[in-house]
Amino acid sequence: MREDLLPIEKLIAYFQKLGGVGYKTAQRYAYKIIDMDKEDVTEFADALLDVKQNIHYCKICGNFTDKEVCNICNSRKSDIICVVKEPKDVFAFEKVKSHDFLYHVLHGCISPLENKGPDDIRIKELLERIKGGNVKEILVATNPDVEGEATAMYIAQILKPLNIKCTRLAQGISMGADIEYADEVTLNKAIESRTEM
Amino acid sequence: MREDLLPIEKLIAYFQKLGGVGYKTAQRYAYKIIDMDKEDVTEFADALLDVKQNIHYCKICGNFTDKEVCNICNSRKSDIICVVKEPKDVFAFEKVKSHDFLYHVLHGCISPLENKGPDDIRIKELLERIKGGNVKEILVATNPDVEGEATAMYIAQILKPLNIKCTRLAQGISMGADIEYADEVTLNKAIESRTEM
């Protein structure tokens, strides 16, 4: 960061580092900071430092936490582990609140294009968890794209000899979607996995 | 701000306060902070505090500055004052770099709908500047909308007895615009203000 920038230009430059933030938006954020209460800005700055200093990966599931072991791993009892790609996927499941799984965050998917193999994501840690405890089912909830599917297939394959049930999120038409606009692959999956009423 | 929030949830809440930032975007920003270098985050937090502590209005023109009088007012000699609505308009003119005006930031426009009259914006300060120094021309560069036009007309009116030239930014077709899609008011202005070639 250049040292001779005005404080406001420097702040704008930092907002632009957040990703997907252009100059105009960063400028708007910076002006908003000038308009905010001093107390709020101080707490904002503290929150930034707090997150950077205290947030790290849970040593069991790999989700973000401010403790050694996250709240979910610490307090929840379940024999189902839901395997997701990123911490924000855990947030998505937790919002639903319909099931009490444990989670396992892979921090990525197998992707030959990005030179990412099974050893680059947290699959080894998943196997150790399975060997260590009473896990009955692994629900693979990676995204239904090429990388996510490849990762799911790989996990299913290595779980077969361990005699652990491996499931995948159902694929089909989204609730509220318009069949007219559903893509062919989705429609095909929905027909294949049709359920009896 | 609730005290029992996780550090990351607290940071997300602060990002949402920036305006126009929803939960998903704020979450993305927060995750980006976790991925950033510790040094960068520290400097980001410092920049926030620095802006809040050191940025205020220039006592002459009303633009943001970290000194008592801003760099432009301090160093530039001109007998033309360009009157704008907001500090970011000054940035826009400074980017062009074709003219050496001084500026006067109104911090708003006259707007009966928002209950804003001439006394709520920095018109009094403008008159004092005119009385104090050798000003030859006031270029009113408020936006060409209802509030901006009303403000421009008001300023022109009060400048008449002072015998100061009052000009307005030319209105017409934007460079690179398609005449086919120009709105009627703009096209009309462009015809009225046509120039000889």
Stretch B42-52: mean pLDDT: 92
Chain B positions in Cβ-Cβ contact with residue A36 (cut-off 8 Å): 17, 52
Place of tokens 């502590």: B53
**Residue B9 near residue B20 (C-beta atoms within 8 A):** no
- Please count the CA atoms within 13 angstroms of the CA of B76 that sit on its side-chain side: 18
pLDDT tens, position by position, B94-140? 888 778 889 999 999 999 898 999 999 999 999 999 998 789 999 99
Cβ-count burial of A66 within 10 angstroms (0-12 exposed, 13-18 middle, 19+ buried)?
A: middle
Above 60 in pLDDT, residue B4? no
Residue A1 predicted with pLDDT over 70: no
Q: Where are the beta strands (DSSP E) in chain B?
A: 56-57, 64-65, 80-84, 102-105, 137-140, 165-168
At B127-175, the pLDDT tens digits run: 999 998 789 999 999 988 899 999 999 999 999 998 889 998 888 888 8
Contact between A45 and B42 using a beta-carbon 8 Å cutoff: no
Return the pLDDT at B14.
94
Provide the percentage of residues in chain B whose pLDDT is more than 90: 48
Mutate to test the interface with B, among A16, A48, A53 (most CBs of B within 10 A): A48
> What pTM, to 2 d.p., does this model score?
0.69
Mean pLDDT of chain A: 88
Tell me the mean pLDDT in the region A61-74.
Answer: 89
Q: Is B74 within 8 Å of chain A by CB?
A: no
Structure tokens at B171: 């209105």
Strands A64-65 vs A56-57: parallel, antiparallel or unpaired:
antiparallel
Q: What is the pLDDT, as a whole number, of residue B3?
A: 53
- What number is the average pLDDT over the span A9-38? 92
**DSSP 8-state secondary structure symbol assigned to residue A120:** G
Distinct helix (H) and strand (E) counts, chain A: 8, 6
Average pLDDT rounded to a whole number, residues A21-38: 91
Tokens of B15: 């990002």
Q: How confident is the model at residue A5 (pLDDT cuts 50, 70, 90)?
A: low
The residue that leads in pLDDT, B6 or B83, is: B83
Instruction: Please tell me the predicted confidence (pLDDT) of residue B126.
Output: 94
Unique residue bearing structure tokens 């930092």: A14
* pLDDT (0 to 100) of residue A103: 94
Q: Is the Cβ of B40 closer than 8 Å to some Cβ of chain A? A: yes
Average pLDDT, stretch A125-140? 90
Which helix (H) or strand (E) segment is B2 a member of? none
Q: Is the dihedral of CA B81, B92, B21, A49 positive or negative?
A: negative
What's the mean pLDDT when you consider all of chain B?
Answer: 88
Q: Do A1 and B88 touch (CB under 8 A)?
A: no
Query: Inter-chain contact B29–A18, Cβ cutoff 8 Å?
Result: yes
- Which of A7, A14, A45 lies at the smallest CB-CB distance from B66? A7
Contact of B91 with B82, CB cutoff 8 Å: no
Could you tell me if A92 and A76 are in contact, meaning their C-beta atoms sit under 8 angstroms apart?
no
pLDDT of B2 above 70: no
